[in-house]
Structures are given as structure tokens and as C-alpha cells.
Structure 1
Amino acid sequence: MKVLVIEDNVELLRDIKNFLEEEGNICEIAPNYKSAYDKIGYFPYDILVVDITLSDGNGLDIIREVKKENIDTGIIIISARNSVGDKIHGLEIGADDYLAKPFYLAELNARIKALYRRKAYHGRKEIIFNEIKIKPDTHEVFVNDRLLSLTKKEFDIIHFFVVNRHRLLTKEAIAEHLWGDHIEMAESYKFIYTHLANVRKKIAELGGNDYIQSIYSVGYKFTDRE
């Protein structure tokens, strides 16, 4: 799961990022309105965690912009403003959830996971595609009911593919999903080919089919359709 946290409290921002990454997520950060606006306009995110009061703007304006541009992402507001009016207003303009400060990081993580389940796989805790079953909460993948042994990056890529099945995924989108803010560390897209080769081999070893279709010079599609 890829999360963008928009928060101007540097200490809280660091704590949230560290906690979510320890839970196996890709977590990017934006300490102000401008950096958040730039990131949302350029990169896709599964979940936005948005503080209302920012040093250079209002988090509610970010939500309005996301809805105006029809960006498909879940939104959780975090704010020290604990009035009913703020909560209602945030939800009315498009936020999915609201968490008042102070809060436990474990609760924020639980709400992020619950929201992602609702949006990505309709509230179910498992994703099933033919003989492949994914349990996102435990980072497990099963093929024909047998556990697949995967590295974190291999899990990330098969999860990304299955959630976006039947869609064309560019090499750039895959690379950015796997590396996030650290994509500049990758010298080329060779690491994608390596991960895909490993995933294909491991699935085949458990009797699974190869659903990864290469789209010449563009990217890949995970599908059982012709």
C-alpha cells in the first residue's frame, strides 16, 4: 500500500512514516501544502492522510482539489480540531474518515488498512484471482492453497498487479510504486524484470499460471483475458 502523509508537525510526520513503513507500507511525506499539491499531481497514492491546518494552506483545499481532478484515492483527515463542524465539513467534501489528535499510531494504521480494504477489494480481507489468493494484512500469497515464499518487493509487485488486474501498468508506474521517493536510486528498470522473473518462477513452481503479459515498450498487464 502506498500512503502520502500531509502534516506540518515534523516530529509527528516522522513517527507516522516510521510506523507505517515498519508495517510494510510505502510511505511518502509532505510537510506543507505546496509539496503535497506537487506530489498528488504527479504520483498515485492508495491513501492520503491529511492534516487540516498546514503552515502554508488548508488541508481541506487539498481534498477539494483531489475530488475536482477525480483522483482515485482514499482520504483520512487528522486534525487537532475536534469540533463536529470540522469533521462533518471534511466528510462532506469527500474525506472517507476523520481521526482527531492526539491518536495512537496503531489506530491510524488500522483505519488506513480498513479504508484500503473497502476501496481496493470491497471490504474483504483477501483478494482472490483464480488460483491466487492474497492476504494483504499478513503479506501472504497462496497459489493453489500453498504458501508462496516471497521477498517484500516480490509481494509488493504481485499485490500491485492483482489489485490492478486487467489494467495496463507502465514500467514507470511499477517502478514508482515499488520505490516511492527513492526511485532515483534505481539506475534502470532492470530490477522490475528481475522481480517479475522471480515471481513468475515461484508461481509456476506451485502450479500457477502466468498471467503477466508484456506490452512491448510500455509495460505489463496482469490478466487472464486475451
Structure 2
Amino acid sequence: MYRSEQLLFDQGKPVPIVIRNYSKADFDDLIEIQSECFPPPFPQELWWNKKQLLNHVTLFPEGALCIEIDGKVVSSLTGLCVQFNPTHPNHTWAEATDNGYITNHDPSGNTLYIVDISVRPSYRSLGLGKIMMQAMYHVVVNKGLDRLLGGGRIPGYHKHAANMTANEYVQKVVKGELHDSVISFLLRCGRLPIAVVENYLDDEESRNYGVLMEWKNPFKK
């Protein structure tokens, strides 16, 4: 199981944090985080439910991470293991994660697949998302997996969809010519795009596209 204590600095002031696996005792906090990250009109039924969370901590507890500050859970990152073939990248988020229930978790899979990352809005200036992603890289290395993978939204694409394809948009973000709140964040975390997938998820801002972004295990050839 994972536990790491670190210090962050918020305007020069040290902030102790704990990165650890979440458990049943955290479920109410995790659902509250979802409500803060996805407020109405986002459908409440699409927030985590306790059956999903129980599957996370039962089927693949190593992939259930959170950050705690002053005894309060302020962010979470969830993953599962899948068998992924880079030559056949097309899939949907629902297919890869069983709609967040992760019943398709494959202990012999070659890839750690990110299901969700959520950070309370009032804590987003601290870089917690990147810290959790780096912690999940440790899991990839420890388990000898080939990669970490996940589909990123492209919420800025709707502003440019009339003028360029999704692939062209992603290329411009990678080159620094455009900024996208999700893809630019994942690039800063060390992940690189490998495919743009149509109908990845129901997301009007992204025009239903998702960008598969990978971090390769540097210890595997």
C-alpha cells in the first residue's frame, strides 16, 4: 500500500500533505469532492457512488490514491489495470473502465489506466494533480507495467472546432501554440499523446473526442 508524506509551499508557507490509498472511511469525502468538481447542472447520478468506490478499494486498492491536508481529503486519483495494444487504440472511457466500476480490472494487464482525477477547486493552486500522477507512476514502476495511460478531455476544442480537426488542435497544444486546461496539464505531468479517439465520452466541449496520453515506464524496454 502507498503512503508518502511531503511538504508543499503555498506562497512560501509550508503545507504538509499525505499521499495515500483511500479506503471505505473516505467515501463520503470522495463523493463530496466530486460534487465540488462537477456541480449542477452536471448530473448528480454521475458522481462516484459507493458501489463504484467499494470496487476501487477491493479490486485494485493500489490504484486508489488520495491526498490529505490537515486531516481532510482534498483530491483523488483512481486507476485500474488493463491489457492495451497501442496498434488498436480506439475505445471509449466507459469500455476501458466499465463506467467507473472497474469490474474489468485485469491483474495481469500491461497498462495502468486512469479512471478519474479530481481536486477540490479551492486546492487546485497547489499542484496536487501532478503529485498524484507522479505517485501513480511509482505504482507503474513497482508493478513492472509498460505504461500509464488515460484519455484526456479537450475542453478548449469547441472554440476551434470550426477551423481545425481535433488532431490539429492537439498538435497546436503540444507545440505551445494553444493552451488546453486538461491536455496542457497532462503534458506538464510528463504524459504524451498517442491517439485522438472519436466518441470517447459524452462531452460537448470536447466534441466527444478524447486524447489518449501515455507515460512509458522508463525501466522497461
| Larger relative contact order (Cα-Cα within 8 Å, sequence gap ≥ 6) | 2
Choose 1 or 2 for highest CA Rg. 1
More strand as a share of residues: 2
TM-score w.r.t. length of structure 1: 0.26
More helix as a share of residues: 1
